Amino acid sequence: MSRIGHVQKPWPEAFAATVEKLVAPGSEPLGLFTAMGQSQKALERFLAGAVAGKGALDFHTRELTIDRTAAQTGCEYEWGIHTKLFAAKAGLSDAQVRSTFDGHADDGNWDAKDAAVIASVDALLANKKLSDAEFARLAAHFDTAQILEIVQLVNFYHGVALFTGAIALPSEPGMGRFPTA
């Protein structure tokens, strides 16, 4: 059970307008949005910081960045959604999905480009920066716009982890869970 309530139907007008933009017709918004929607201003600010839609990164790299960030920040909520709904579409194998949770950049599951992403996510979360060597490893595979998007994704999903952890937001029904062994 979440530590805070969730917006309930009938949706307040402003929240209904937001849901219409976020959710496919006939679908319900995720608990993340109904919890954040307790404050429309907080929800608007949250969504303004999101890195949604088509950006500089291909879908595979985007999902890899999100999955690794969610795993490394302990955000089972987001890791479960992304690994269940998007990992296969992004071309991530079961072994790679597992590696986003407990592997490392050079564990044999990744090509050089993906390993650079994994190493960069880990460095950003551990050190809040990239060393010259870490940046060079990333820049060998990505241009400036792509590097900025990787950093923005790590930043945004780290924030999601803080929010979901602070309110103890439970995983969505039927979504993935962190491996236990």
pLDDT of 51 over the 90 cut: no
- Would you put residue 102 in left (φ > 0), alpha (ψ -120 to 50) or beta? alpha
In Å, what is the CA distance from 70 to each residue of 27, 97, 98, 133, 162? Answer: 24, 12, 12, 24, 10
Per-residue model confidence (pLDDT) at position 49: 84
Whether the predicted pLDDT of 34 surpasses 90: yes
Is it the case that residue 27 has pLDDT exceeding 90? yes
- The stretch 152-165 carries a mean pLDDT of 97
Average pLDDT on 53-75 reads: 95
Percentage with pLDDT > 70 across the chain: 100
Q: Where are the domains of the chain?
A: 13-49, 59-161
Burial of 10 (0-12, 13-18, 19+ CB in 10 A): exposed
Note the pLDDT of residue 74.
98
Q: What is the pLDDT of residue 53?
A: 73
pLDDT given at position 100: 98
In terms of C-beta density within 10 A (0-12 exposed, 13-18 middle, 19 or more buried), how is residue 111 classed? exposed
**Average pLDDT score, the chain:** 96
**Domain spanning 59-161: CATH 1.25.40.10:** no
Tokens of 175: 């979504």
Task: Give the span between the Cα atoms of 30 and 171, in whole angstroms.
Answer: 10
Task: Give ∠ CA 106-109-110 in degrees, rounded to 5.
Answer: 70
pLDDT in tens, 69-120: 999 999 999 999 999 999 999 999 999 999 999 999 999 999 999 999 999 9
C-alpha span between 161 and 153 (Å, rounded): 12
Task: Specify the pTM.
Answer: 0.93
- DSSP 3-state assignment of 20? helix
